[in-house]
Every structure is written in C-alpha cells, then in structure tokens.
Amino acid sequence: VENKEALIERINYLRKKKNAVLLAHFYQRGEIQDIADYVGDSLELARRAQETDADIIVFSGVRFMAETAKILNPTKKVLHPNPESGCPMADMATVEGVLKLKEEHPDAVVVSYINTNADVKTISDVIVTSRNAVKVVKALDAKKIIFVPDQFLGSYIARQVPEKEFILWKGFCPPHFNLTPDQLLALKERYPDAKIAVHPECNTETVKIADFVGSTSQIIEFATTCDSKNVIIGTEIGLKHWLEKLNPDKNYIFPVNADYCGTIHCCDMKKNTLEKIADVLEREINEIVLPEDIIEKAKKPLDKMLEIV
C-alpha cells in the first residue's frame, strides 16, 4: 500500500494536471481536511461549488452534498470519492410522502433542508441549511411551512419563528439524535465555566440547554472565539481536528457515549478516504450524473435560497 505522503503527492499532481478542486466538509477525516482546497459547512461548500472555475470538483462529503454541487454547477464534472457515502436522514424523505403532505396542506410551502436527495429538492419551494434556515423561513411570505426531513431542525426553526405554522416531516440524524442533555450536563459539572455549543440536528431537549446553536462552521467560530477556555461541543467528532488547528489553546470537549461508536460519529462521512480521492481523480470514476430535468427543477429552490442569503 501507498503511504500517506505518496498518496498526497499523487492527489496534488492529479488535481493540478486536471484543474480539479477538492471541497471537504468538516466531518471528513483530518487528513482530508488538511489537503482540501476548501473546508466548510454545507452552505459555504455549495457556494464554493457554484463559483469554482475548476473543471473537476471532487466533493468529499456525503452524496447529497456532491449532488448539490452538480445541480449548482452542472457543466462541471463532479466526482464523489465513495458512492456508498450517503446521508441516512436524507434517505428518510420520499417524493410520494412530500406530495401527500402538499395535498393535505395546499396553502403550505415546502421548505427542504439541503440534506435531501435531488428528487425531493425538485418538489421543494426553497432549500435551507442549518446556517440560514431561520433567516430564509422568516423571509418567506407563506404562513404555513412543510419542513422536510429533519424534525429537530424544523422544531428549532419553529421556536425561532413562532408566527408561522409548521408541519414537520419526522426524519432525524441518527448520530446527532443520541446526544442527551444529561451527557452535556455531566460534562458541565466537571467544567463549570464551559460553554455548550450544539448543532440544531440534536434533539430538542439537548438544543434547549445549549448556549449556542449553529451550523458546523458557526460552532467553530463560536468555540474558537468565546471567552471560556472549555467548550463542550454537541456535533460530529470531525470538528475537533479543525478546532484544534484554528485555536489549539482551548479545550474542546466532545461527549463520549459507549452506546454509539464512542462520540457522535457519522459513519457515512468517514467512508471517504485519501485512497478513494486519489482513485476518483486518477480514473475519473464515481461521477455524479443526474437527468437534466432533475437538475433544472432542483436548481430553482437552491437558487432561491442563495438569493435570500
């Protein structure tokens, strides 16, 4: 097997030769974050994908993120390191189910989390990410919202925008769902000065005790700049790498729970590896291919989001 240095050298050679850009989410392995051209939350990555003038986008994240890159910049070749890397929450929402809700609530608009598959995006009125959801929902004229698929992000938005009515799809993120308020409170007892920052995909009871709720990069900004040295982080363990790189003087505490792979760990995000990145770049395999009409219809609600924020 090729060692890490040789792999990185091969990736660097290939991305230069082929004018490729490597975009990576914060939940990717540390060694991928270290060599990415850009690391960000899902909104920042979508914008980068839309704006890039590279010929090839290698998107190291889960499939809906690579699909979003293709939809926003369809003339580019988008390569996904591992086709097995999907998002279980995105898979919880179906077109049939959403159409049924639309029928039951004809006066509602469909607001879909970016964590949805392309087919669900085609029947959505607007897309949101955890970073901009509250702002986008507030900006809509509609009073009634069907929110798909994350019930916890949905109820977080509903609490911030009480003047609107919400019909929530009952999806959830399995890794974030398991984090309980008790785990955070036990850590707070050990580190009384600590601030608690969580992702809105955590369950409602957990979100309610946090000092800060935001997207992955908003959590990073809060944790690295807030005035306490100890910060308890309620999101996927991949963030630890970037936090320690940005501000190593602080202590980032990730809850540990023996019941689920130790910490909040997204197995799908970790399916991408340096080997797979080198391989897709070399052979140009695992290209994201979507029918033209899907791209066209899914682009509308994404463009609408990008116009608002």
Annotated binding site for [4Fe-4S] cluster: 87, 173, 266
**Least CB distance to ligand 13P at residue 137 (A):** 16
Q: Of these partners, ligand SF4, ligand 13P, none, which one is at the site of residue 268 (CB under 5 to 8 Å by kind)?
A: ligand SF4
**Least CB distance to ligand 13P at residue 201 (A):** 5
Is 129 a binder of ligand 13P (CB under 6 A)? yes
d(C-alpha 266, C-alpha 204), whole Å: 20
Is 67 a binder of ligand 13P (CB under 6 A)? no
Q: Which amino acid is at 108?
A: A
Q: Which of 112, 215, 224, 272 binds ligand 13P (CB under 6 A)?
A: 215
- The torsion defined by the Cα of 71, 43, 309 and 142, in degrees rounded to 10, comes to 70
Choice between 7 and 255, CB closer to ligand 13P: 255
Is 115 a binder of ligand 13P (CB under 6 A)? yes
Which residues make up the interface to ligand SF4 (CB under 6 A)? 62, 87-89, 115, 173-176, 201, 236, 266, 268-269
Cβ 305 vs Cβ 127: under 8 Å: yes
Q: Which of 206, 216, 272, 286 binds ligand 13P (CB under 6 A)?
A: 216
DSSP structure class, residue 90: G
Cβ 150 vs Cβ 89: under 8 Å: yes
**Least CB distance to ligand SF4 at residue 59 (A):** 13
- The torsion defined by the Cα of 208, 211, 215 and 219, in degrees rounded to 10, comes to -150
Does residue 224 sit in helix, strand or coil?
A: helix
Q: Could you tell me the maximum CA-CA distance found in the chain, to the nearest angstrom?
A: 58
Burial class from Cβ neighbours inside 10 Å (0-12, 13-18, 19+) for residue 225 reads exposed
Choice between 20 and 132, CB closer to ligand SF4: 132
Annotated binding site for iminosuccinate: 25, 42, 113-115, 130, 199-201, 216
**Least CB distance to ligand 13P at residue 291 (A):** 25
**Least CB distance to ligand 13P at residue 68 (A):** 11
Q: Which of 173, 184, 237, 277 binds ligand 13P (CB under 6 A)?
A: 173
d(C-alpha 106, C-alpha 53), whole Å: 41
Cβ 39 vs Cβ 242: under 8 Å: yes
Where does this chain bind ligand 13P (CB under 6 A)? 41-42, 115, 129-131, 173, 199, 201, 215-216
